[in-house]
Amino acid sequence: MRKAGRHFLQIPGPSAVPDRILSAIGQQTIDHRGPDFAKVGLRALNGLKTIFKTEENVFIYPASGTGAWEAALVNTLSPGDRVLMFETGHFATLWKKLAEKLGLQAEFIEGDWRGGADPEKIEAYLAEDKEHQIKAVCVVHNETSTGSVSPIAEVRKAIDRANHPALFMVDTISGLASLDYRHDEWGVDVTVSGSQKGLMLPPGLSFNAASAKALAANKTAKLQRSYWDWAEMVGPNKNGYFPYTPATNLLYGLNEAVDMLHEEGLDNVFARHARHGAAARAAVRAWGLEVLCATQGQESGVLTAVKLPEGHSADAFRATTLEHYDISLGNGLSKVAEKVFRIGHLGDFNDLMLVATLAGVEMGLKQANVPHETGGVQAAMAQLS
Amino acid sequence: MRKAGRHFLQIPGPSAVPDRILSAIGQQTIDHRGPDFAKVGLRALNGLKTIFKTEENVFIYPASGTGAWEAALVNTLSPGDRVLMFETGHFATLWKKLAEKLGLQAEFIEGDWRGGADPEKIEAYLAEDKEHQIKAVCVVHNETSTGSVSPIAEVRKAIDRANHPALFMVDTISGLASLDYRHDEWGVDVTVSGSQKGLMLPPGLSFNAASAKALAANKTAKLQRSYWDWAEMVGPNKNGYFPYTPATNLLYGLNEAVDMLHEEGLDNVFARHARHGAAARAAVRAWGLEVLCATQGQESGVLTAVKLPEGHSADAFRATTLEHYDISLGNGLSKVAEKVFRIGHLGDFNDLMLVATLAGVEMGLKQANVPHETGGVQAAMAQLS
Amino acid sequence: MRKAGRHFLQIPGPSAVPDRILSAIGQQTIDHRGPDFAKVGLRALNGLKTIFKTEENVFIYPASGTGAWEAALVNTLSPGDRVLMFETGHFATLWKKLAEKLGLQAEFIEGDWRGGADPEKIEAYLAEDKEHQIKAVCVVHNETSTGSVSPIAEVRKAIDRANHPALFMVDTISGLASLDYRHDEWGVDVTVSGSQKGLMLPPGLSFNAASAKALAANKTAKLQRSYWDWAEMVGPNKNGYFPYTPATNLLYGLNEAVDMLHEEGLDNVFARHARHGAAARAAVRAWGLEVLCATQGQESGVLTAVKLPEGHSADAFRATTLEHYDISLGNGLSKVAEKVFRIGHLGDFNDLMLVATLAGVEMGLKQANVPHETGGVQAAMAQLS
Amino acid sequence: MRKAGRHFLQIPGPSAVPDRILSAIGQQTIDHRGPDFAKVGLRALNGLKTIFKTEENVFIYPASGTGAWEAALVNTLSPGDRVLMFETGHFATLWKKLAEKLGLQAEFIEGDWRGGADPEKIEAYLAEDKEHQIKAVCVVHNETSTGSVSPIAEVRKAIDRANHPALFMVDTISGLASLDYRHDEWGVDVTVSGSQKGLMLPPGLSFNAASAKALAANKTAKLQRSYWDWAEMVGPNKNGYFPYTPATNLLYGLNEAVDMLHEEGLDNVFARHARHGAAARAAVRAWGLEVLCATQGQESGVLTAVKLPEGHSADAFRATTLEHYDISLGNGLSKVAEKVFRIGHLGDFNDLMLVATLAGVEMGLKQANVPHETGGVQAAMAQLS
């Protein structure tokens, strides 16, 4: 039986794609070596720089975000290099596993999954590394599994205080274009991101922004690479071209997305996400439930992970909301599997959509017999209006 | 500045068009005299019959609903004919004016705009017409200006009790495919409808369903007609063609719409609209406001017209909700201009979209300083879950 | 079995709709009474004026071209009025029948279907009408059934030479935006056109452009009208609105179409059609076949009607080309049924598409065993390059 | 100035994307971990098997074809492994360079770029390798730079005759779904392909089909890999999921493409490409020019590379055709740069589109003052009809 009305895709990415972008993606493919393509390519490469806030290089891969994680590492490091990572949650853990798989020696500062990376611990760790064997510090900006945000500018200062030359790499796959981000100002060497979150595109594109220091590292880095190699891209990119066939139609969408973000204004986009995060947390509190992120000031505007009361399955709850209210919520991952569900409130989103989303959760809690107070939606509305 | 997220188009039509239909409409136009078109045309004509619940003729016009109103009259009546109409609201009044403009003698049973047509009054009126000078009884099924529903089956019985031979004409422009409707079973002679309401299409198509009795009347009716003439359509329609160039791309959309309605099941569609109407009224009551329709059992599942407290401008309120919450609500028309606003909850719509809509109203009432109780959204959610 | 590749829709309208327009039409419908709509409506109304080359009123109907024919007559004439028409072909004949059906006294200057209207005959006819009983002269600009063009500016001069006050009405349904047309400069009182030809839209919109004289006639004209009545439109149109629900999504397409025409430049559009007409005729001559239009200088750039040798069925030939080469050609209508086929070369069209079209004809002639010389395509290419 | 009509994208891939696929790609993105996605994923994975003609594993990457080249090698080989490749043209050369970049010892059997791989030379080379140090034989099926086809079934027999255990890898990026291909029957271990050629999709997806033997090799292969690792995919793929976020919207398009290919019938698709290749070569001969592929029976149905007379720049010619006839042709690559141009006649293509394409070339030759005979188009038409 057909379900009427719009599905609410409220996982923390992919976010629902706006019609303008779907329409852009549906335009006819053109010759990726022809003169018209150069305009598309340059617009994409230059447009992305305004989003990463960088005047350095941005690289676009026809690939998922996982590919851009790999690209960041293989372009700059050599087998056996030590890499410092911070356990903010599931995705930080996956990035560490990937590093290990590539032959790096990845070291974790453990975390409790309830906040962002801790600059002080990073500083302390680096301070121990007198011989500068650690070649990179890798931090997840917006940890999609927990809804916590790492203070990237502070981590940069911590590295500087430790006087450590390690490259600074940040995954803002789910943060970019939703949360304030400043590749250059914050002194990030490699930023990793993807298309299907704040950029409002379908999945299929991912990105590296790379500082001059990172590009220099590329020249000596010995990890095996070909598809991901920045060195092959720099030349063709200058004229808007790519060393292999780019994902043309997704680039159309990317260009539309960058326009849309600037039409709203990046600061407005960030404020909107912050406001929605606050309203979502007000709802969670009103329900008498707990937000996974327990570190004040580090709660994400992109998603809110919510702990269910003991003895209740978050996945059963999610199945109920999907069936009854046609809304997709994010699941709990690894350590918090079945214990939390995640509400995505990112991308092309507004107040009424947030209320609808929270109503789906509140009515779902009732439907699934999860103990809770009513009034979450009302609390969010009070916050919004 | 770009507004993020989806606009909520909550006027009582056009309703928001689902992606499947937009995609269908965006397909390439074909030769309207070629063999492939016959399939498109037959599918549209036969599909519509399942929606009107008729085995008689259905006519499709490239025109707005106003055109189909005119078609119903010019196809069956002659200059000076007396026509009985019932003042359910603004649209009944417009139809009467149209009849007068065409040279008919239209007579109104007055109404207070707070309910549907009254079968007993119609019976009494007809009973007076011993000489059967009244040639047609015209009733609006779902009065879009008030949110009241006329009891069509009861009106039929009233005509029959009066033993009156007048043609029975019903405007269900905003009722069809949202409210139960049965052209054949209810003995309607001409049903008028349009594309942009329950059928979920953009405006641009309108329809007549016509009984054998209506088609017989066409042969002697003397009102001037050409574009609207059923007689020119019957022949070509048999093979799926039209006497003049049809609006091919809207027909693509119509065929998709009929499929979607049957995938959901017409009875489910009707139940959904009824449920949403009830939840909307629960919200209005919780706000301490008044629903315009005051006749129990005749409240519409398509829209809810809400009276604002004296001294408050409904249009100012609507402008506020549009600006702050990106939601379009319907305005009050003629007699109730500025006094009521209308909430559309029709077409491709679901529970969470309704909550969002009601949240837009509730937050808008606050924003516009209209005195009200909070809790309308909560009341609707209680009703829905 | 699926046919690969693009269908060639080479009937003389609807013409193949370009992707930009399909994409525009597929955008979400908006509130036709809201502030955003005013921009859409004004852009459409003002845009059309640049295409009709008029600073007077343009009216947009959600209707086929047949509706706009009717609108031109009912808005300006009264029952029994004499109307002079010129038999350029099938569509002129249909317009005459429509006039008669509306109760007008339509008089034909007979023609042989092999050229446009003859200004001298019109002048002579009018000169006989000393009492000015003839209220309108109606001429088809581009006769879609024959591929002949009437010299509109010359007809105007003929009316003037006869010192006759009749309204001058022109059907340029298939000429507008393909052939030069100047409503104001040529002193036309009512111009009739439609969306699905040079404007490159799907069918569903039609137009009247009306002079001040025509608007004045509207005030006294007694033909019954409501849907078509200009008087109801003038007011709302001033602000970009319409008296009844407009076909919003087709208006999106119209606005895109007008942009596209100006991006190419109207004069370039006209030159392109002229060039393609000449190349098509070169092909016909090379095949040893005959072009239906026999009047030099009046051959259409929109379509070319081709006579098949005696004893060969044009419809059988068209069925063969459709089956074997996936190309739709236009059929012969009424007097020339089965005797001619029509090649549409209008709308969003270019040199290579024309060669493909002519190749479809040439290979079809071979396939259908119609006696002909090869070399038509080659002749057209010589003309084009 | 806007160019009217359709652009002809006649490079040998990306091929023009049919509307059905663009429309599919433009549908809303869904939850890649939700129940509805499983249907999309399984349909894609199983659908592709019918195109590769394999009952073994198929892997789908959000990546360009270059990525799938890399995947084939890193999944099955170890650093320093010897790999035998055949120099069919530019793309075989690129694949070799990629292998070297990955640390493999790639060895070339040289070729003259005028035919496919020579099975006898491969057999002889392998026969020399008594110790079976060669771990893989890599052949390009349809060499996109030359328009020559390698006899894959014969290469398989050659390897077997040499009794050599090397893995057999085939790049059919531009051959799949245009030319007959049989992964299982021809005993291929790894087949590499991409989305933007015979599959009629935009670029952005690439594929590996892998035999049981290849999967076994994966377990011991030591080349560094993560994104490309089949081992991570096998499990999730069983249920229609992927280990990282897939390119959902391109998968929608892939599913549509597979349906379309089967609606036409794969054998009909192959016959159509063969017929178009033959017609294109007939045109080239009639122009008095030379086809680059000089090996009878190995000419491609996907593209035709054409040598320009000495002293004429192929790129200048291509720029002329693009400017004057809005057609994109492929350029000559590396060894044949400036000497040849390539006509793509692949994907969603039909007879009239081929004639248009060849007309673009013929009129371009005239425009660019390249000495040639006219009559190429006529020769192709004779072949086609």
Q: Which of C97, C227, C251, C346 is the mutation pick for testing B, counting most B CBs within 10 A?
A: C227
Give residue A43's identity as a one-letter amino acid code.
R
Give residue A228's identity as a one-letter amino acid code.
W
Please answer whether residues A86 and A140 qualify as being in contact, where contact means their C-beta atoms are separated by less than 8 angstroms.
Answer: yes
Please answer whether residues B62 and B251 qualify as being in contact, where contact means their C-beta atoms are separated by less than 8 angstroms.
Answer: no
- Which residues 6+ apart lie within 8 Å of A124 measured at CB? none
Please answer whether residues A356 and A8 qualify as being in contact, where contact means their C-beta atoms are separated by less than 8 angstroms.
Answer: yes
d(CA C239, CA C242): 9
- Which residues 6+ apart lie within 8 Å of C290 measured at CB? C284, C306, C307
Residues in chain C with CB shorter than 8 Å from the CB of D384 are 363
Nearest Cα residue in chain C from D353: C356
Is position A143 within any domain?
Answer: yes
Are A145 and A88 in the same domain? yes
Residues in chain D with CB shorter than 8 Å from the CB of B26 are 23
- A23 and C27 within 8 Å at the Cβ level: the answer is yes
Residues in chain D with CB shorter than 8 Å from the CB of C355 are 355-356, 359, 377
CB count in 10 Å sphere of residue A337: 14
Number of domains composing chain C: 2
> Percent of chain B at pLDDT above 70?
100
Give residue A186's identity as a one-letter amino acid code.
W
Q: Identify the three-state secondary structure at position D168.
A: strand
Cβ of C29 under 8 Å from any chain A Cβ? no
Tell me the residue range of the domain where C380 lies: 8-15+265-384
Cβ of A39 under 8 Å from any chain D Cβ? no
Residues in chain A with CB shorter than 8 Å from the CB of D98 are 226
pLDDT at residue number D357? 98
Is position D269 within any domain?
Answer: yes
Are A34 and A119 in the same domain? yes
- D9 and A26 within 8 Å at the Cβ level: the answer is no
d(CA C188, CA C213): 10
Is position C2 within any domain?
Answer: no
Nearest Cα residue in chain C from B20: C26
Cβ of C236 under 8 Å from any chain B Cβ? no
d(CA D18, nearest CA chain C) in Å: 7
pLDDT at residue number D117? 98
- Which residues 6+ apart lie within 8 Å of A353 measured at CB? A8, B5, B6, B356
d(CA B2, CA B5): 9
The torsion angle over the Cα atoms of residues D337, D341, D345 and D350, rounded to 10 degrees, is 160
d(CA C43, CA C255): 7
pLDDT at residue number B148? 98
Mean pLDDT of chain B: 98
What digits encode the pLDDT tens for the residues A157-185?
Answer: 999 999 999 999 999 999 999 999 999 99
Are D192 and D87 in the same domain? yes
d(CA B99, CA B104): 5
Mean pLDDT of chain A: 98
**Which own/partner pairs from B318-325 qualify as long-range (CB within 8 Å, at least 24 positions apart)?**
B320/B364, B320/B367, B320/B368, B321/B360, B321/B361, B321/B363, B321/B364, B321/B367, B321/B368, B322/C34, B322/C35, B324/A385, B324/B363, B324/B364, B324/B367, B325/A350, B325/A351, B325/A352, B325/B8, B325/B359, B325/B360, B325/B363, B325/B364
d(CA B261, CA B274): 16
Are A141 and A45 in the same domain? yes
- D66 and A250 within 8 Å at the Cβ level: the answer is no
d(CA B93, CA D321): 63
Q: Which of B264, B268, B356 sits opposite A356 (nearest CB)?
A: B356
Cβ of A26 under 8 Å from any chain C Cβ? yes
Helix axes C351-367, C314-325, angle to 10 degrees: 120
Cβ of D27 under 8 Å from any chain B Cβ? yes
What digits encode the pLDDT tens for the residues B247-287?
Answer: 999 999 999 999 999 999 999 999 999 999 999 999 999 99
Cβ of C224 under 8 Å from any chain D Cβ? no
- D14 and A245 within 8 Å at the Cβ level: the answer is yes
Burial class (CB in 10 A: 0-12, 13-18, 19+), A97: exposed
**Count of pairs with CB atoms under 8 A, one residue in B, one in C:** 171
DSSP calls for C346-369 = -SS--HHHHHHHHHHHHHHHHHTT
Give residue D284's identity as a one-letter amino acid code.
V
Are C157 and C87 in the same domain? yes
CATH code, domain carrying B299 = 3.90.1150.10
> Percent of chain B at pLDDT above 90?
100
Report how far apart, in Å, the C-alpha atoms of B271 and of each of A33, C15, C130 are: 55, 43, 69
pLDDT at residue number C13? 96
> Percent of chain A at pLDDT above 90?
100
Please answer whether residues D333 and D90 qualify as being in contact, where contact means their C-beta atoms are separated by less than 8 angstroms.
Answer: yes
What digits encode the pLDDT tens for the residues B39-96?
Answer: 999 999 999 999 999 999 999 999 999 999 999 999 999 999 999 999 999 999 999 9
Residues in chain D with CB shorter than 8 Å from the CB of C350 are 3-6, 325-326
Burial class (CB in 10 A: 0-12, 13-18, 19+), D212: exposed
What digits encode the pLDDT tens for the residues D17-33?
Answer: 999 999 999 999 999 99
Cβ of C260 under 8 Å from any chain D Cβ? yes
pLDDT tens by residue, chain D, 385 residues = 999 999 999 999 999 999 999 999 999 999 999 999 999 999 999 999 999 999 999 999 999 999 999 999 999 999 999 999 999 999 999 999 999 999 999 999 999 999 999 999 999 999 999 999 999 999 999 999 999 999 999 999 999 999 999 999 999 999 999 999 999 999 999 999 999 999 999 999 999 999 999 999 999 999 999 999 999 999 999 999 999 999 999 999 999 999 999 999 999 999 999 999 999 999 999 999 999 999 999 999 999 999 999 999 999 999 999 999 999 999 999 999 999 999 999 999 999 999 999 999 999 999 999 999 999 999 999 999 9
Is position D1 within any domain?
Answer: no
Q: Identify the three-state secondary structure at position C167.
A: strand
Is position C3 within any domain?
Answer: no
Q: Which of D23, D25, D252 is the mutation pick for testing B, counting most B CBs within 10 A?
A: D23
Are C171 and C251 in the same domain? yes
Give residue B374's identity as a one-letter amino acid code.
T
pLDDT at residue number A195? 97
Please answer whether residues C257 and C44 qualify as being in contact, where contact means their C-beta atoms are separated by less than 8 angstroms.
Answer: no
What digits encode the pLDDT tens for the residues C73-130?
Answer: 999 999 999 999 999 999 999 999 999 999 999 999 999 999 999 999 999 999 999 9
Q: How are beta strands A327-331 and A167-171 bridged, if at all?
A: unpaired
**Where are any strands of DSSP class E within B57-116?**
57-62, 82-86, 105-109
d(CA C4, CA C325): 10
- D247 and A64 within 8 Å at the Cβ level: the answer is yes
Residues in chain B with CB shorter than 8 Å from the CB of A263 are 1-2
Sheet with A82-86, side-by-side order of all strands:
A57-62, A205-210, A190-194, A167-171, A134-140, A82-86, A105-109
- Please indicate if the annotation marks B342 as binding a ligand: yes
What are the residues facing A123 on neighbouring strands?
Answer: none
What digits encode the pLDDT tens for the residues A90-147?
Answer: 999 999 999 999 999 999 999 999 999 999 999 999 999 999 999 999 999 999 999 9
Which among B324, C88, B141 is positioned nearest to A384, based on CA atoms? B324
pLDDT at residue number A219? 98
Cβ of D305 under 8 Å from any chain A Cβ? no
DSSP state of C102: T
Model confidence, pTM:
0.98
Give residue A362's identity as a one-letter amino acid code.
E
Residue with tokens 């809207």: B250
Give residue C317's identity as a one-letter amino acid code.
F
CATH code, domain carrying A99 = 3.40.640.10
Please answer whether residues A46 and A99 qualify as being in contact, where contact means their C-beta atoms are separated by less than 8 angstroms.
Answer: no
Nearest Cα residue in chain C from D16: C5
Are A46 and A83 in the same domain? yes
pLDDT at residue number C345? 98
Is position C61 within any domain?
Answer: yes
Domain end residue (candidates: A202, A231, A262)? A262
Nearest Cα residue in chain B from C100: B226
Residues in chain C with CB shorter than 8 Å from the CB of D3 are 264, 350
Cβ of D28 under 8 Å from any chain B Cβ? yes
Which among A10, A17, A48 is positioned nearest to A196, based on CA atoms? A17
pLDDT at residue number C216? 98
d(CA A230, CA A338): 40
Residues in chain A with CB shorter than 8 Å from the CB of C23 are 23, 26-27
Q: How confident is the model at residue A358 (pLDDT cuts 50, 70, 90)?
A: very high
CB count in 10 Å sphere of residue B1: 7
Are B315 and B295 in the same domain? yes
d(CA D35, nearest CA chain B) in Å: 19
Please answer whether residues A354 and A384 qualify as being in contact, where contact means their C-beta atoms are separated by less than 8 angstroms.
Answer: yes
Answer left, alpha or beta for residue D323, where phi above 0 means left and psi between -120 and 50 means alpha: alpha
Q: Which of D19, D27, D28 sits opposite B27 (nearest CB)?
A: D19
Q: Identify the three-state secondary structure at position C337.
A: coil
Rounded to an integer, the average pLDDT of B301-307 is 98
Residues in chain A with CB shorter than 8 Å from the CB of C26 are 23
Domain end residue (candidates: C236, C262, C288)? C262
Q: Identify the three-state secondary structure at position C143.
A: strand
Token representation of residue C196: 């699905």
- D9 and A27 within 8 Å at the Cβ level: the answer is no
Rounded to an integer, the average pLDDT of A351-357 is 98
- B203 and C247 within 8 Å at the Cβ level: the answer is yes
Which among C16, C5, C1, C2 is positioned nearest to C328, based on CA atoms? C16
Are D326 and D202 in the same domain? no
Domain end residue (candidates: D262, D287, D319)? D262
What digits encode the pLDDT tens for the residues B136-174?
Answer: 999 999 999 999 999 999 999 999 999 999 999 999 999
Is position B147 within any domain?
Answer: yes
Cβ of C350 under 8 Å from any chain A Cβ? no
- A355 and B351 within 8 Å at the Cβ level: the answer is no
DSSP state of A368: T
What digits encode the pLDDT tens for the residues C182-191?
Answer: 999 999 999 9
CB count in 10 Å sphere of residue A121: 15
pLDDT at residue number B72? 98
pLDDT at residue number A80? 98
Cβ of B23 under 8 Å from any chain A Cβ? no
Token representation of residue A205: 């594109």
d(CA A259, CA C256): 20
Are A67 and A196 in the same domain? yes
Are C317 and C234 in the same domain? no
Give residue A316's identity as a one-letter amino acid code.
A
Token representation of residue B165: 């031979």
Cβ of D128 under 8 Å from any chain B Cβ? no
Are B278 and B239 in the same domain? no
Is position C1 within any domain?
Answer: no
DSSP state of D255: H
The torsion angle over the Cα atoms of residues A103, D216, D133 and D137, rounded to 10 degrees, is -100
